[in-house]
Structure 1
């Protein structure tokens, strides 16, 4: 594994790790984390490091998150452009793109803009319509008996009007059990990494959920994505439920849907062996095409 600070064309720098060595003969996989301003490369590193023998894997903190620059704009368009600049930096004409949760939104936007640069697409626990997703997530948070929350604070986080970084940290601390499968309520949510992880950044979350999510709606364009796609979802995901992944899989012509029956929002954490086997199976089928 090597760690890099990759300078982007607008002057921002990204905290990037490369797993699996730097050999250009290996195909490239870029994996995106979720939760802008909160999550980091830690989740995709844990999820996809099993592929190191066959792939060069790029994991990184998106701008506005982790150890990367806090330089705006915090937009899907800019996050998509950052992905493509990392592809160029890695020297790959085509690659596999994997995105979980909010990383799935960015991955869908990338596929619709730069489809010819993809070998395959992996989408984990995500949705295709931002407004419905935000409002349903807020309803779930406010009505679930699994958590006790401050309604005003949850309203702020899901609509992108957080007061400050501490407000963000307090909001996410309340809802961790909603991301875990039944019987695992004490598990840490996907964004949790070692205690030394960077702070939460409310400005990133606010931009994503007040500006980007209300206009994110790719339902009518899913049919235009022709690359092989694996859509993954946990049966017990309360934030991006199975119906969202079914909608995506039904809309993308060359797609496969994998529902993990004992998982919440992160099947790679909840059912690691089954997750790895399913991803390997999918990537092997892509290689043989």
Structure 2
């Protein structure tokens, strides 16, 4: 007699929603934390957090349209925050626990914020890791300014032209291969000290995988975001994590998120870019674990990180 594994049994799981497969991966044990990767389209495994898996049940979502999860009929279009959030809601309900924490990185932080604003019933807390309250021209201008600063700081480095070329290629991405090339190409700017640690970080870079997601709805309109007004009314406990050297969702946005969200906690990783869980894993892990324990009723109530 075979026993069907439970939804939180370690390993890879999948289910269908409206004929579309949703995959996720379970590692570790303890309070449940769902981790939603960025991009959109970057495959989930870059976000593995083995140290947290020693204390938490980490559920790594493989977002629809990405990796081995199913595609929408409108692929590569139609992957809005609302659609990702609806799939998250089904997954959370299937896990069979009263509440979970939701951690979103980069684009995943935009999804996590949306879910916390619109479908918060089963959330004990949300971690907005390298997110921002807005997209569109204002966000793009700030990213451009940060990339210019990165270029000035690394003027003359032989790797800089390749990074700038990858940023220039972003708007022309149309295939999975394009997306992987851009993701790997810009990566040095996503770390505070990539070139100083290039040999150590090369395996991380080479393992990055991606699926092309357009960022457009089915009608080819952009899924633009401005959560500033809504975040002032967020009732879910929130931890904001930002790297001081992040060029894409940098310190300006982390500070703004923290200012907008009532009673939020803020962790500034002073020696990190966009990948603090790789660059400063001890500070990152300690802060996330403390936040989960506190908001699950196990902590001391100290909000200082």
Secondary structure at the aligned position of 1:220 is classed as helix
Question: For residue 18 of structure 1, what is the aligned residue in structure 2?
Answer: 26
What are the equivalent positions in structure 2 for 1:61-210 lying under 5 Å apart?
Answer: 61-71=62-72, 72=75, 73-131=78-136, 132-141=138-147, 144-145=150-151, 146=154, 147-149=160-162, 154-155=167-168, 157=170, 159=171, 161-182=172-193, 184=196, 186=198, 188=201, 192=205, 194=207, 200-202=210-212, 204-207=213-216
* Matched residues, number: 274
* RMSD of aligned Cα (Å): 2.8
1:106 positional shift: 0.1
* TM-score normalised by structure 2 residue count: 0.79
| Contact kept? 2:239, 2:291, Cα under 8 Å | yes
Identify unmatched segments of 5+ residues in structure 2: 1-8, 155-159
Which of the numbers 246, 252, 262 marks the counterpart of 2:261?
252
| Contact kept? 1:260, 1:271, Cα under 8 Å | yes
Question: For residue 37 of structure 2, what is the aligned residue in structure 1?
Answer: 33
* TM-score normalised by structure 1 residue count: 0.83
1:122 positional shift: 0.7
Q: Deviations over 1:74-114 (max 9, x none)?
A: 11111111111110121133210111101000000000101
Secondary structure at the aligned position of 1:148 is classed as helix
Identify unmatched segments of 5+ residues in structure 1: none
Q: Deviations over 1:12-54 (max 9, x none)?
A: 1122111225xxxx532111111122x2221332x2x333354
Mapped partners of 1:190, 1:13: distance in 2? 29
Q: Which runs of 4+ in 1 moved over 6 A?
A: 150-153
1:273 positional shift: 1.2
1:268 positional shift: 1.0
Going from structure 1 to structure 2, the CA distance change for 1:193 and 1:75 (only over 3 Å counts) comes to farther
Structure exhibiting the larger radius of gyration computed from Cα positions = 2
Going from structure 1 to structure 2, the CA distance change for 1:54 and 1:171 (only over 3 Å counts) comes to closer
